[in-house]
Structure 1
Amino acid sequence: MEKKKILERFLFPSVKVDQNDLSKAISGKIVLITGASYGIGECVASGLASAGGTLILVARTEDKLLALKKELEQRGAVVHTFSADLRKEEELGALFEYLQRYSLEKVDILISNAGKSIHRLVYDSLDRFHDFKRTMALNYEAPVQMMLKLIPALEEKKGQIINISAINVLLAPASGWAAYQASKTAFDQWFRCVSPELKARGIACSSLYFPLVRTRMMAPTAAYNDMPAMQPGQAAQIIFRAIINRSRIYSPWWVFPAQVCSVLFRRPWEYLMAANLKKKSDAKGH
């Protein structure tokens, strides 16, 4: 356990931002956070509570959102919550109606954090096309629709879009992650394509490529329990720094050499994955 903690400190050095700088960057602004009820989203909302802005927290779990709203309001924050499954167009539409009704549609900062992870081999997915549809709906279609709605206001306010991405999209693909990696890569490419257009109109675009973060999303994958991971609070500090600096990109310091290895050792990597999967299949008698 101690070795894992040392490795985590090495791989994910702590980042701390000045609260005064954060307050200057947030004061008087409207910040919309998706996936706000747990994990990274909850930590971001908590960290922004005393910064002087207006928070719009969006997530599926209404009870958790209301409890978080109560907690943050006790600390002086101005908080609005909206419970929605962003995979469903009608609920996404209801969110936009809510924003207009309460004059909240002119968002200054959008933190696109909601996401779905799934690990399943393709031979276990032959009758589960819905897994791919649901993952693509939340990780790709929902943030595209949200941004298309909010871009005019973000341009008017010279605002910022922060996409919470994953290092997976920068590295060699891994078996079992087809639905997740395809959906995250799809939105990453979309966002990178439109970013020059948005920047030309004064909108700051930030892509944050996070490693494994110890949230409930990683819990179903037992193999992750013993792997080093970033804490949600660390991820929140990186988001705060991106808000203050309006920075373009974040990725861990070791991602670039990992990308080089992904290119140079693609064949051995694919061979080892196939050999390992065959060994497991043979052991099961398939």
Structure 2
Amino acid sequence: MQDISSLLHKIRHGLDTQVSLSRLRRDRTLADAVAGRTVLLTGASSGIGRVAAIQLGAAGATVLLVARRAEELARVVAEIEAEGGKAVAYPCDLNDFDALDAMTAQVLADHGHVDILVNNAGRSIRRSLDQSYDRFHDYERTMRLNYFAAVRLILAFAPAMRDRRDGQIINILSLANLYGGPGYAAYVASKAALDSLSTNLQAETQTENLRFTSIYLPLVRTDMITANPVYQQATANALTADEGGRIICDAIIDRPRRLAPVMGRVAALVDSVLPERADTIRHARFRQGM
């Protein structure tokens, strides 16, 4: 457990350093980036989505909140409006594609376009290979929310962004996409699919001022990790929801192509050059976490 906690501490320190340097260099504020613009966030009823929504509303954005839980969305709307911001709730189960399509059509009817899309909603599952032989549905449902729902949102809102030659699509991924996540194969694969999609769509739209931003978040203290006893014991070095929400806002201000801890980037480089060594390291981490 000490090794995992130490690793999380190093990762967090690296991300903190990178974000702090970015904040020192920038020449505009969140209000400069979003005032008068429309931002849609999924998974906005709690955690980092809620935090980001509140900050964006305070900065002058019209914030469109998407999640399953209508009552919790209403509370977030009330928080934003209490501070003078603008927010609209669009309760929707993104696993239901008919409901998702109806929601995006309503958003476009109400607002005409979305300037910034944040694909934050996600499902995580920890299940090793030997526990998965008869559970193909775990892979289906994880891919359905983490990848296919995000794709449908991108396809719904990208046309107006391209016509206006202005927009940003932010995908919340995992550090495991760079560093490896044994035991989380279904989750990591679904996020990797979204990452690869973004790489290719960015190449297609490079000259259209449409930015695809991938955020590789380390562990964040949210409801998603409560079922994992290993991570529960290591949460002291995890990001808080406030810190995670602020990172989303940082990505909107700076519009980076990728935002990740330096340690994660180095791990990805090592993996590409010395894959066998990287596999050995990942296996050791997996054995420790069992």
TM-score, with length taken from structure 2: 0.85
Deviation, 1:106, is 0.5
Q: 1:19 to 1:201 in 2, by over 3 A?
A: closer
Deviates more, 1:13-22 or 1:272-281: 272-281
Cα gap change, 1:258/1:127 in structure 2, threshold over 3 Å: closer, same or farther?
A: same
Correspondence 1:74-223 to 2 at 5 A: 74-102=82-110, 104-157=111-164, 158-171=166-179, 173-223=180-230
Q: Which residue of 2 aligns with 1:284?
A: none
2:12·2:238 contact (CA, 8 Å) conserved in 1?
no
- Give 1:262's aligned residue: 271
| Residue 72 in structure 1 maps to residue 77 in structure 2 | no
What is the CA deviation profile of residues 243-283 of structure 1, one whole-angstrom value per residue up to 9, with x for unaligned ones? 122222110122233224435664356457768989999xx
Q: Which runs of 4+ in 1 moved over 6 A?
A: 3-6, 272-281
* Aligned length in residues: 278
Distance 2:288 2:244 in 1: 37
Preserved CA contact (<8 Å) 1:35 1:115: yes
TM-score, length-normalised on structure 1?
Answer: 0.86
Change in Cα spacing, 1:55 to 1:274, as seen in structure 2 (3 Å) is closer
Q: Distance in 2 between matches of 1:229 and 1:142?
A: 27
In 1: Cα distance, 2:285 partner to 2:246 partner? 38
Q: Deviations over 1:30-72 (max 9, x none)?
A: 0000111111101101111211111000011111101111111
* Structure with greater Cα Rg: 1
Give the aligned partner of residue 31 of structure 1: 39
* Secondary structure of 2:171 counterpart: strand
Task: Tell me the distance in 2 between the aligned counterparts of 1:176 and 1:114.
Answer: 21
Q: 2:252 maps to which residue?
A: 243
Q: What value does the CA root-mean-square deviation take over the aligned residues?
A: 2.9
From 224, 229, 232, the equivalent of 2:241 is 232
- Give the secondary-structure state (helix, strand or coil) at the position aligned to 2:125: coil
Q: 1 CA distance for matches of 2:286 and 2:82?
A: 52
Question: For the Cα contact (< 8 Å) 1:199–1:205, is it kept in 2?
Answer: no
Gaps of 5+ in 2: none
Q: Structure 2 vs 1, CA of residues 114 and 13 (structure 1 numbering), >3 Å: closer, same or farther?
A: same
Percent of residue pairs identical: 34
Residue identity opposite 1:131 in structure 2: D
Aligned equivalents of 2:268 and 2:281: distance in 1?
A: 18
Matched residue SS, 1:193? helix
Q: Which deviates further from its counterpart, 67-76 or 251-260?
A: 251-260
Distance 1:6 1:116, change over 3 A: closer
- Is the contact made by 2:39 and 2:118 (CA closer than 8 Å) also made in structure 1? yes
Q: Which has the higher contact order (CA 8 A, sep 6+)?
A: 2
Distance 1:131 1:247, change over 3 A: same
